[in-house]
Structure formats: C-alpha cells, structure tokens
Structure 1
Amino acid sequence: MLTVNDMVLTRMGLRFAGRCWPCVIGKGDVTVDKREGDGATPAGVHRIVGMLYRPDRIARPTDWAVPIGPSDLWSDDATHEDYNLLVRAPYAWSHERLRRGDRLYDLVILTDWNWPRAERGRGSAIFLHRWRRPGFPTEGCVAFRSNHLNQIATRITLGTRLIVPEALGK
C-alpha cells in the first residue's frame, strides 16, 4: 500500500510530493538481481536511513543530516567486513570517497539497500544524489538536479520509502 510520503520511480521520473521529479538511474537499468559493479538500480522497496551533506558547500538540509568529513569513505569491497558501510581513511580496501572534488555528493540520501548487514556481492550503497547532467546514468544510484535533490531532502523523513518497481527492468 502506497503512502503519501512514498517516492515511486517511474520511466518519467520520481513521483513524490505531488509532482514528478526528473532523475537518472543506473546505466544497467533496473534489476531484481543486483550485483556489485553491474551499474543497475535494484528493484524493491528501499527505506531512507540517513542523509549526508558537505557543510563547506551547502547548509544543513534537515536536522537529521550528518556532515561529510574529509576522511569519510564508503566501503565497496565485498571481501571486507566493512562492505557497504561508512568507513574512515586511512582504509586500505576498495572504497568510494564521499568528500569528492566534484559536487555529486554534496548531498547524499542513504537507502537501506543491502544494509546494515550486507550480503557480499549484492551491491553496495544505493544513494540519492546530484546528477552529472540530464540523461547521464549512474552506477546504480538515483540522481537529480541539484535544486530538486535539495527540495526532496527537505520533504522526506527517516523511513520514507523509495519504491523501484520490478516492471521498470529490462
């Protein structure tokens, strides 16, 4: 059963808060069998579990948003016990920098995809974040225009659901 606070991915964009927000998804389209490195956005119901932001670039979007620090990383090493978790540098295993030189991760909304107890190889974090440009796919995340992402961030709560219908898959 859909609720008023649900975000629903469609081929036209993300339906949420009475409008359809343009977005891009993973270069591997939507899949029911998500794997690390496949570039796909996983079908399913994913809850919002956190929000990170760059305090040196943007104002805190909500009272529950957590600042991204210079040493913050996200582990994407399926062989390590910290797989799909926030970790801090120095970190010798495969990871993604959260404090990037570009602006893609100035605001990151975290979903519960394969979290908090990650199944190795099922794919690490699915974030909502800023897009590079319209039509340019992600590695599996859902991405938006900067101002749209900021507006979405102020309207969601912990537990808001991101619904990615299986029917969107190839």
Structure 2
Amino acid sequence: MNAADLVLMPTHVRFLNRRFPRSIGRGGIVDAAAKREGDGATPRGVHCVVGMLYRADRITPPNDWARPIGPNDLWSDAPDDPAYNHLVHAPYGPSHETLRRADPMYDLILVTDWNYPDATPGKGSAIFVHQWRRPGWPTAGCVAFRRDHLRFIAERLTPHSRLIIR
C-alpha cells in the first residue's frame, strides 16, 4: 500500500494519512466471486483507479488526466451487450446509466477497473467513486464521499492509485 491508495475501513476511507467518511453499497461488501449485476454490493479487492470523469459545465478539471463528461456519455450495465461495463454514447438502446445527471452525484467520477476492461457478463458494472447523496446513504455498489472530500482526493490522486476494499 502507498499513501495515495484509498483504503476502505469500517467507517471511513484512509487516503494520504487522512480519514474521510464514506458510503458503500446497500448490499454491503461482498467477495469478488459473489458480486452480481444489480446486487447493490461493493466488491472486496484491490481496484485500480483507471479513469477520472467530470462535468466541465459544473466544475473545473480536478486533475490533468481527468476527462470531461459529454452530453451523450452513458455507462453500459447490459450484461448481454458487447459494450457491457464500458463508456458508451447515446443513442444506446441496451440498459445503461446516464453519466450527465441532473443531480450532482456524478459531477466527478473515479472509474475503477472492477470487471473492466474485459468484462464478464453479469459480474457487475460501474463500480465508481463519486459524490454521496447524503452521509451514510447507501450507493448501488460504489464508494461515495462528501463533495469537497471527493474533490480533495481527486486533486491528489495519481494514475497508479488504488481503491482497496478488504
């Protein structure tokens, strides 16, 4: 482990020797082998942060490797589609998540390598790090933070940082 890793603890995430309150999936933490699409669980393991997306119309780039979210950007959660667990663009017929949301939850997204880039159908998609709805409110499987904490983390993250969930 290094200080630039996000380490999930029982009540917080440790990053750069600081503690940040967090939210996790409504299904709790599960072993990677048990993770399924739609179960609301956060998968245990070491997940590399492989991308950073942000809403350029709402916030400034948090890091020089962040990529703006376009108006047609979506994330496929359709296990039977070849683009499963990948960034896709509208129009896109299969099941997906809209990345350019009306609420601020996806104004800043850290993309992990959970079941990516070589996705196994049904093993779960879109394990992101993003803004929480409110403290303690569960996610659909992601890890979520208060807006200013997420920004602090994103500004200091490196392309080699990992999300470690034990």
Give the superposition deviation at 1:5: 1.8
**1:20 equivalent in structure 2:** 19
**1:129 equivalent in structure 2:** 130
Give the superposition deviation at 1:89: 0.2
For residues 111-150 of structure 1, give each alpha carbon's deviation from its aligned partner in whole angstroms, at most 9, with x where no partner exists. Answer: 0000000001000011000000001000000000000000
Which amino acid counterpart does residue 3 of structure 2 have in structure 1?
A: V
**2:38 equivalent in structure 1:** 37
Q: How does 1:2-17 map to 2 (within 5 A)?
A: 2-17=1-16
Secondary structure in 2 matching 1:47 = strand
Which amino acid counterpart does residue 68 of structure 2 have in structure 1?
A: P
Q: Name stretches of at least 5 consecutive residues in structure 2 with no aligned partner.
A: none
Secondary structure in 2 matching 1:24 = coil
Which amino acid counterpart does residue 105 of structure 1 have in structure 2?
A: Y
Q: How does 1:122-161 map to 2 (within 5 A)?
A: 122-161=123-162
Q: Name stretches of at least 5 consecutive residues in structure 1 with no aligned partner.
A: 166-170
Contact 1:72 1:89 in 2 (8 A): yes
Q: Residues of 2 paired with 1:3 and 1:56: CA distance?
A: 33
CA RMSD of aligned residues (A): 0.6
**2:87 equivalent in structure 1:** 86
**1:99 equivalent in structure 2:** 100
Q: How many residues align?
A: 164
Which amino acid counterpart does residue 103 of structure 1 have in structure 2?
A: P
Contact 1:12 1:20 in 2 (8 A): no
Secondary structure in 1 matching 2:144 = strand
Give the superposition deviation at 1:88: 0.2
Which amino acid counterpart does residue 74 of structure 2 have in structure 1?
A: L
Give the superposition deviation at 1:4: 2.1
Secondary structure in 2 matching 1:46 = strand
Give the superposition deviation at 1:12: 1.8
